[in-house]
Structure 1
Amino acid sequence: MNAKRVLLYLFLLLVLGTGLSAWYFHHLVHSPQSPESSKEIVRISPGQSFKSIAYHLESMGLIDNATVMYYWGWLQGKATKVQAGHFQVDAQWSMQEMLEHLSTGREQLLRLQIPEGAAWWDVARILEKRELASFEEFQGVVKDKDFLEEMGIHASSAEGFLYPETYYISPSRDVGAEKLARIMINQFWKSTSDLWGEMSFDEIYDMVNKASLIEKETGIAPERRKISGVFHNRLESNMLLQCDPTIIYGLGEDFEGRLRRRHLDDRDNPYNTYHHRGFPPTPICSPGRASIEAALDPQEHGYYYFVSRNDGTHHFSKTLQEHNRAVYRYQIMVR
């Protein structure tokens, strides 16, 4: 009888211990890991083991016990279902919620904004700062002849075709100079496909080139078609475009100063539209759709000149004499 009682007590202790362990285990995996909300981005690499993922979460302070997380993941059959990518998790979540999110949740996409009027080197700097591609890699891609031909760009670079847009990309799949350039160029063709009709690439290129000048000259919506009209009038009259932003582009990616007389007089700069007729050799930035529409539909008027009023707007003139008076009023007098 004593032996039976001992065995019974041991059995009850075992059941109780198992029950308490199960309750404690259940409590650990279903309780909030932190009393306060704290959202973090967790990066999971392709092929990363679930064990290393659990310990990575513990090292970030997102879970209390990596061992419990590891065994719970296998018991739930989700250890092999955790996906690679960047995921936003909350320290207030339970281990069960984190496990569900990592195995079935949507990856946290990265917001990447490419502004209107950015030259290719501006885009390269943005990508390098976000650690998505190096400057040199992106430079190589946007000037790669085979890549450009594949993307339908029969030119020396992708300048003008890196469409300005807010992109939401997967940091695990969309990283790299070629992938990112491909995304932007594809977006250009997608966003502008309805504008070109039966135009040849050379005609499209001229319009993108013209639009890039408009983009750099004004950020005022009502002025775009007006400035487009000025360029149209000057080209029709065989006049030089005399566009300052083209000279600046020709001075290269490191130029951050003010234009000087020596820059305006430099005939060796192929982008100097004070000396070389027609459009510059390439676009000088990637224009937005509004500037492209303005390039395609210039406003009809008699203006041939414009000068900045120093408030973002421009004064337009029909004659050189009127223009010189405006330059004196808005530029020389201010200085």
Structure 2
Amino acid sequence: MKTLLRCLALLFFLALLAAGGAAYVGYTFLQTPPETAGREELFDVPPGARFARVAEALEARGLVTDARKFCWLARYRKMDARLQAGRFALRTDWKPDQVLDWLVNGQPVLFRVTVPEGLTWWQTGRVLEEAGLVRFEDFRAVIMDKDFLRKYGIPFATAEGFLMPDTYLLKKADVPDMAQARSVAGRLVDTFWRKAAPLWPDGKKPASEELRRLVILASIVERETAIDAERPRVAGVYANRLQRNMLLQADPTVIYGLGPSFDGNLRRSHLDDPANPYNTYQRPGLPPGPICSFGVAALAAAITPEQHRYLYFVAKVDGGEHVFSTNLNDHNRAVRQYLRNRRNRR
């Protein structure tokens, strides 16, 4: 019996010792910054980043001493799901609590926002508004402002097609206003011109009419395929159709003309409607303007389309590769196969 009591006492003592040791380790972590003579570090938190990954990056940059303990601290304070995205000015002489508070409640130096490829101007405006960078109506007014369009050399009634997809680090105004919208929109357009510059033939910006053609065609290519390797071939199909005075018959242009109210269901009545200025089933040539923001790959394809004899294409499955045809019989056969594939996937 005495042996049992001694064993229990020993176990109790060891438990106390372990608890005390853990408490000391935790206290030391909370009270000890990585450096005493601190320095400022700019630290990026991507949108949707997992807290564990952020903690590991903080440790690697010398901003916390232990990523795992930092995760424990965040879970204890119920802050592990509250990170802001952006670029933060942190210091290596801050204690872990201060680093955590700044990432959750502090003001980022710059806010990170991603504008994906293929968005319309109104979808881009919503992305920027949801990030707290602009008010949608201010953004709309700016990208349709004649002075703004003239300043940035945009030969259309809106900046559609020139709002370059990319991941941006942008300043956020305390209260977004028209000046902020102009600054953000200008940054997107500046990025377009910077990324497009190496692609222009002979290194020269095209004249207005050629620029219009390339931008419109690039936007259609962007919406027709997400596969970079197919984009020059798709551009070649439309170049061939234009050369033969054939209707483009591009579904994405019709959809764009239907505007934000489009419900996702393209109907025969939409294809038959000549009142839609973007209806390339009814109106010859290119539509009056670009239909989305496109990436560099789509613009490169529009500038240098693949040389071939294809006039038609249809997807093998939704969102996948396409079958290209030189004649209508082969194309109709490929369409029937697409419909069979679609039924089989349901």
TM-score scaled by length of structure 1: 0.69
2:194 maps to 1:190: yes
Counterpart for residue 330 of structure 1: 338
Structure 2 unmatched runs, 5+:
1-26, 34-42, 46-85
Note the alpha carbon deviations across 1:238-296, whole angstroms, 9 max, x for none: 00000000000000012132101111111110000001111111100011111000001
Preserved contact between residue 32 and residue 92 of structure 1 (Cα < 8 Å): no
Preserved contact between residue 32 and residue 95 of structure 2 (Cα < 8 Å): no
Preserved contact between residue 308 and residue 330 of structure 1 (Cα < 8 Å): yes
**Equivalent of 2:244, from 237, 259, 263?**
237
Note the alpha carbon deviations across 1:133-191, whole angstroms, 9 max, x for none: 11111111111111110111122000000011111122259962111000000111111
Counterpart for residue 272 of structure 1: 279
- Whole-angstrom CA distance in 2 between matches of 1:253 and 1:211: 21
Preserved contact between residue 317 and residue 342 of structure 2 (Cα < 8 Å): no
Taking every aligned residue pair, what percent have the same amino acid on both sides?
Answer: 44
Counterpart for residue 181 of structure 2: 177
- Whole-angstrom CA distance in 2 between matches of 1:218 and 1:174: 38
The amino acid across from 1:192 in the alignment is A
- Whole-angstrom CA distance in 2 between matches of 1:250 and 1:332: 29
SS where residue 206 of structure 1 aligns?
helix
Preserved contact between residue 241 and residue 277 of structure 1 (Cα < 8 Å): yes
Preserved contact between residue 197 and residue 205 of structure 2 (Cα < 8 Å): no
Q: Report deviation, 1:87.
A: 4.2
Structure 1 unmatched runs, 5+:
1-30, 42-84
Counterpart for residue 76 of structure 1: none
Distance 1:142 1:40, change over 3 A: closer
- Whole-angstrom CA distance in 2 between matches of 1:36 and 1:265: 71
Distance 1:237 1:108, change over 3 A: same
RMSD of aligned residue pairs (Cα, Å): 3.2
Preserved contact between residue 243 and residue 273 of structure 1 (Cα < 8 Å): yes
Preserved contact between residue 87 and residue 169 of structure 2 (Cα < 8 Å): no
- Whole-angstrom CA distance in 1 between matches of 2:304 and 2:186: 28
- Whole-angstrom CA distance in 2 between matches of 1:277 and 1:126: 33
- Whole-angstrom CA distance in 1 between matches of 2:164 and 2:44: 30
Q: Name the larger-Rg structure.
A: 1
2:257 maps to 1:257: no
Number of residue equivalences: 254
- Whole-angstrom CA distance in 1 between matches of 2:280 and 2:308: 22
- Whole-angstrom CA distance in 2 between matches of 1:174 and 1:236: 51
Preserved contact between residue 109 and residue 170 of structure 1 (Cα < 8 Å): yes
Q: Report deviation, 1:334.
A: 3.2
Note the alpha carbon deviations across 1:274-321, whole angstroms, 9 max, x for none: 011111111000111110000011111111000111151111111011
* Superposed counterparts of 1:120-135, under 5 Å: 120-135=121-136
- Whole-angstrom CA distance in 2 between matches of 1:171 and 1:92: 27
Counterpart for residue 17 of structure 1: none
- Whole-angstrom CA distance in 2 between matches of 1:174 and 1:112: 18
- Whole-angstrom CA distance in 2 between matches of 1:255 and 1:127: 21
Distance 1:333 1:87, change over 3 A: closer
Note the alpha carbon deviations across 1:92-115, whole angstroms, 9 max, x for none: 9259x99xx9xxxx9632111111
Counterpart for residue 325 of structure 2: 317
Counterpart for residue 165 of structure 1: 166
* Superposed counterparts of 1:281-296, under 5 Å: 281-296=288-303
Preserved contact between residue 133 and residue 173 of structure 2 (Cα < 8 Å): no
Q: Report deviation, 1:327.
A: 0.9
Counterpart for residue 310 of structure 2: 303
Q: Report deviation, 1:36.
A: 9.8
